Chain A
Amino acid sequence: MSNYNEDDEIKQLFVDESLEALQRVEQLLLEAENGQARANMVDTMFRDMHTIKGTSALLAYEKTASLAHAAEDLMSRLRDKSITARKDHFQHMVQVVDALRQLVENTRDHNTEGALDFSTLVATLRHDLELGDTAPAEAAPAARPSPPASAPATTPTPAAAIAAPAPTVSSAPAPTAPAPAPAPAHAPAEAAAPAQAEHHTESDGTVRVNVGVLDKLMNLMGELVLARNQMVQLVKAVHDPQAQAAGQRLSIVTSDLQEQIMKTRMQPVARVFEKIPRLVRDLAQQTGKRVAVEVEGTATELDKALVEAIRDPIMHIVRNSIDHGIERPDVRAQRNKPVTGRLLLRAAHEGSTVTIEVRDDGGGIDPTIVKRVAVTRGVITQAEADRMSDREATELVFRPGFSTAEKVTNLSGRGVGMDVVRTHVERAGGMVELESHLGKGTTIRMKMPLTLAIIPALLVRDGAQRFAIPQANLLELVYLDEEQTRKDIEYVRGAPIYRLRGEILPLVKLSPLLRHQTQEQQGVNIVVVAIGARRYGLVVEAIQDTEEIVIKPLHSMIKKLPCYAGATVLGDGGVALILDVAGIASMAGIEMKGAQEFGAAGVTATADEHTQSMLIFTAGENARCAVPVSMLARLEQVDAKTIEVVAGGEVLQYRGELMPIIRPESALPIGSPPPMPEDGVQQLLVFNFGRPVGLAVSAILDTSEVDATHPSDVPMTLGKAVVFSRTTLIVDVFALVRQLAPGCVSSSGGPTRRPRVLLADEVDAMRASLAGFLRASGLDVVETTSEAVVRELRNHSGRQFDAVVASVAKGKDVSVQVKQEQPGLPLVCVTNDATNGAAIKRVEREMVLEALVAAGVFAKEVRAS
C-alpha cells in the first residue's frame, strides 16, 4: 500500500517542511510590508531559511541550498543588526520565497529542481549584503517581480548582475525609505494574530503523519461505523442484556473514535486564508487598486478534504471582488468611500456547518448590467430579463458562461465564473449564497459541512427500495393526509405545487422520475429540500429513519446519472443510493426556472414593489388572460363530465355544495370556448366572494410578476399587460362573477354596489398598480391625477365617492384640498416616503385596503380571500 522507501519519506518530509516554512516566511513578509513588523520575525525567517538550506544541502538540491543560504546570510545580518532592514530587503525576500517554492514544488512533482535558474536572485542578495547600510538608493538592483526563471541561464557573476540592474527599478517603492524597524513596539499587530502564533509553534506534542494514512484511517472508520450500525440492529433482535450492553459500548466507543479521527483530519481554514493576503497584494498591484484584507476566524477547522474543496472557490471569489467589486481609488474617492477598499474573509462555526464569508465594500452587483450582459451573452432572453426581479438578476452570475466584467481582464474574465464556484461548493456538500447591495458591496457566503465522509442522512423508501437524502439538504418534512392531498396540492401547467406557509413549493415526485412503481397510498410525504436559496418538495412513499452514512463513490457507469450522489451501506447490510438533490431538481426541470420563479418571485411578499403576481391562463380562442394570484381561492382540475347543466347554468358538486361554473367567453370578447380537451379534464380557477364560483379556463400556463399594466377598453378587464411576450388581458374577476353568477357575491357587501374610491396619484405605473389591486379586491376605482382630484370630486358629485386614496408626494399634498372640498370623506394618504408618518407606504397595498376597511368604506367580507 505505502510504497514509500526511506528516501521518498525524507524527501516528502523536506517538501512538507519547506513549504510550511515558506508559507510562514511569506506571511511575515507581508505583515512587514504592511508595517506590522513582529518582534522575532527576522529571527523566524533566519531559522526557516537555515533549515531549508541544511536539508536541501543534505539532499543535494543545490539551487535550493544556495538560494536559501544567501537568504539566510542576509537574515543573519539583519538579525544581529549589522545591517538595518530596508524595504527592498523584504521585497527580495518575497522573490526568494517564490523561487524556493518553485524549486521545492519541482522537487516534489518531478523529483528534480528543474531548469530554473535563480543565480541572479542570489547575486541580488549577495549585493544587499555587500552594500550593507551604505546602499545608495539608485544602486539597489531591485529585480523585477517577474518570474526569476526568465533570468539568463548562464550563471552570471555577482558583478555582472550588479552591472546590469533592471532598468525598471521604479516599480518598487523607494528603497531609501527604511522599513519600520522590527521593533517589539508593535504590540497591536502581535495581539491581532494570536491564533496564528499558536499555529506556528510546533511543540513536542505533535507528530507528522502522512496524509495517505489519515485517509486510510478515515475509510476504516467508515467501515467501522457501518459494522457498528449493523451490530446495533442485530443486538436489538436478540433479547440478551449482555449483548445489548456490549453493543451499546461498541456504539459509544465507535462514536468517540469517529470524533477523534475526524479531529485528526481537521485543518484550520488558515490553510486557505493565509494565501489570500499575497493574492490580494498581487491583484491589487496589477489592477491599480488599493485593498486592505482582514481575516477573521482563521482557527476555524474543517475536514482536510473540505479545506481543499474551498480553496479554489475562495481564490476565485477574491479575484472577482478585486477585479469587479472594489473600485479604483479615484472612483472610490468620487463615491465618498475610503480610498482603500476593504476585503473581509471570515470563517465561523454555525452548528454542524462552517460558514465562510468573503465580503467587499466595492460597487456591488448592478442588476441592470447583469441583465444586459446576460441577454447579450444569450444566457437569458430579453423577455426573461424583463420579468426578472433584481434579486433573480443578481443570481444570474451563477449561470454558466457568465462574467460581469465590462472588459475581460486577465484576472477573472476567463470564462470560468461563479457557476464553477457554485458547482465546486455544491459538489463538496456545501451551498453558496450571494448578497449584494449596489454601491455598498457584495458578500458571498459558503456554508460547508464539517466533514465529508460520514454524514447524517434521512432514509426514505420509494418503490421497493431505500434512498438516503443528506441532512444538509433537508429543511423539513410535511405529511398531507388524503383530504389535504386533494385539497392542497395544486397543478400549474401540469406541475404539482404545494403552498408551504404561503410560499409556493414545486413538487417533484420521485417514482415517475426514477421510473419505478410505487404502491397506491392515501397521504403524501413531502421532503422539503434546499439547494442554496432554491427549494422544492420531493414526494416519496415513506419516510424512514435518520442514519449516519458513509458516502461511497459510484461506478462510472452510474456516476453520470445526475440523480445520485453516491451509495452507502445501511445498518442491515443493504445498499442505498444517496440522492443528489440538485441533480434531481435539474432532471425534473425545476432547477433554474421553476424554483426561482415560483420561490423567489412567486406570490411571496418579496416580489418587486410595483408588480403583482398573476396567474396566466388561456381561454376562448387561445386568448391570454390573467388574474391576480391573491384573489384566487383554489386551482382545481375536474372531470369535465361532472359539470352539470342546471336551469341553464353550469354547476359542479364541490365540497358538498353546488358551485356555479362560469366561462370567461360568455362575457369577454375572446372568441368561443375551445372544444373539450381530449382527456376530459377541465381546469378551474375557484374564487370566493362569499360563495365559491369556478371559472372554467382552457389551460393554466404559469404565474408571473406583472408590472406595467396598460388601460384597456375591453369590458370586464382591469387592463392589459405584456406577459411572456403576449398581450394578456387582466380579467376583472369580481365584475365577471357579479355579472355571470351574481348569487356568488356576498350579500353583506351588497352585490350590486361596490364602494367607489377616487384614486389620485401622479405616477401612472403606481396608480395603475394600486388601482388594479383595489379593483381586484372588489372596489370601484376612478383614477385621476393630483391636479385633477378636486375637479373629479366635483364632477362626480352626483355619484358619491366613498373614499379618496391620494398620494401625498412632497409639494403635491392634496389632502388639504380634499378635506376642504368634501369634509368627512374618508381619506387614505399613500406615499413613497416611509418617513411620512401619517401616510401608508404606497407599495403596502394590503394596508391601504385595511385603512379603507377601518374607515368603514368597505366590508371585509367582500374581499376575496
Chain B
Amino acid sequence: MSIAESGQWATFFLAKEQFAVPVEDVQEVLLSQPLTPVPLAPAQIVGLLNLRGAIMPAIDLRTRLKFEQVAPSEYQKLLVLKTNEGLVSIVVDEIGDVFELAGEGWRPVPDTLELGHRDAVFGIFPLDGQMLLGLKTHAVCADE
C-alpha cells in the first residue's frame, strides 16, 4: 500500500523546499495579483483575489507552515488549486517541473521534519538529490 497514487505531480518552491500537488488539483498559475486584505481573517489569508469573477482567498503557506517570513516579492506567483470548497490560491516562490511519480516511491514523513510542516505534508518523495514534500491540500486550504 502506497500513501499516494501514481500519477503526475506539479511542484513548486517555497523557502527552498519543493512541494508537490497532484496535477489534476491545479487549475492554473497566476502572476502576482492585486489582493484585497480581509481584516480579522486568520493570518495565513493574505487576501482575496478575483479570477474572472470568482473570488478566492490567497493563502500564504509561509505563515501556515511557520516558515521564516520574507518581504513579498513582485515575482511571487499564485498557484490556483481546486478544492472541494472551490478555488483557493496559494502564494509560492517559484513553479517547478511536473513529475511522473510512482505511488510506491512515497515515504512517510520523517520525524526530523519541523513541526510547522508536519500536519501539512502527507509524505516525501526522494528524487535524485532533492526531496519533494507532498502537500496535504485539504489541510492547508480548509478551515482548521
Contact = CB atoms under 8 A, between A and B. Distances in A.
Given A575-B55, A577-B36, A558 B50 contact: no
A561 B53 contact: no
B1 interface: no
Interface in B46-80: 47-50, 53-57
B36 A556 contact: no
B40 A514 contact: yes
A558 B34 contact: no
Contacts of B34: 574
Given A465-B36, A575-B36, A557 B55 contact: no
A561 B48 CA distance: 14
Contacts of A552: 54-55
A647 to B, nearest CB: 53
Interface of B: 34, 36-42, 45, 47-50, 53-57, 85-86, 88, 142-143
Contact of A574 (B42, B50, B57, B142): B50
Which 3 pairs, one residue from A and one from B, show the smallest C-beta to C-beta distance? Answer: A514-B39, A575-B36, A556-B143
Given A514-B40, A577-B36, A560 B55 contact: no
Nearest to B35: A575
A567 interface: yes
Nearest to B42: A557
Given A556-B143, A557-B142, A574-B50, A563 B36 contact: no
20 contacts: A222-B53, A465-B37, A514-B39, A516-B39, A552-B54, A555-B56, A555-B85, A555-B86, A556-B85, A556-B143, A557-B143, A558-B38, A561-B41, A564-B38, A569-B53, A574-B50, A575-B36, A575-B48, A575-B49, A577-B48
B61 to A, nearest CB: 14
B59 to A, nearest CB: 8
A714 B42 CA distance: 56
Contacts of B40: 514-515, 561, 563
Contacts of B55: 552, 554, 567-569, 575
A15 B126 CA distance: 56
A227 B53 CA distance: 9
A226 interface: yes
B49 to A, nearest CB: 7
Interface string A538-552: 000000000000001
A573 interface: yes
A576 interface: yes
A577 B143 contact: no
Interface in A498-536: 514-516
A737 B81 CA distance: 72
Contacts of B54: 552
B84 to A, nearest CB: 11
A433 interface: no
Contacts of A564: 38
B37 A567 contact: no
A571 to B, nearest CB: 12
A558 B57 contact: yes
Contacts of B38: 558, 561, 564, 577
Most chain B CB within a 10 A radius of its CB, from A226, A227, A567, A568: A567
Contacts of B50: 569, 573-575
A394 B40 CA distance: 35
Nearest to B87: A555
A555 B88 contact: yes
A226 B88 contact: no
A328 B51 CA distance: 60
A561 B1 CA distance: 41
A787 to B, nearest CB: 66
A552 B86 CA distance: 12
A523 B34 CA distance: 30
A552 B36 CA distance: 14
A223 B36 contact: no
B90 to A, nearest CB: 13
A567 B36 CA distance: 10
A515 to B, nearest CB: 6
B45 A558 contact: yes
Interface in A459-475: 463-465
Interface string A322-345: 000000000000000000000000
B39 A567 contact: no
Contacts of B88: 555
Contacts of A557: 41-42, 45, 57, 142-143
A223 B40 CA distance: 28
Contacts of A558: 38, 41, 45, 48, 57
Nearest to A561: B40
A216 B9 CA distance: 32
Nearest to A576: B36
Given A555-B88, A567-B48, A226 B41 contact: no
Contacts of B53: 222-223, 226-227, 569
Nearest to A573: B50
A359 B55 CA distance: 42
A221 to B, nearest CB: 11
Contacts of B37: 464-465, 516
A854 B113 CA distance: 89
B48 to A, nearest CB: 5
Contacts of A516: 37, 39
Contacts of A563: 39-40
A104 B38 CA distance: 46
A556 B144 CA distance: 10
Contacts of B39: 463, 514-516, 563
Contacts of B86: 555
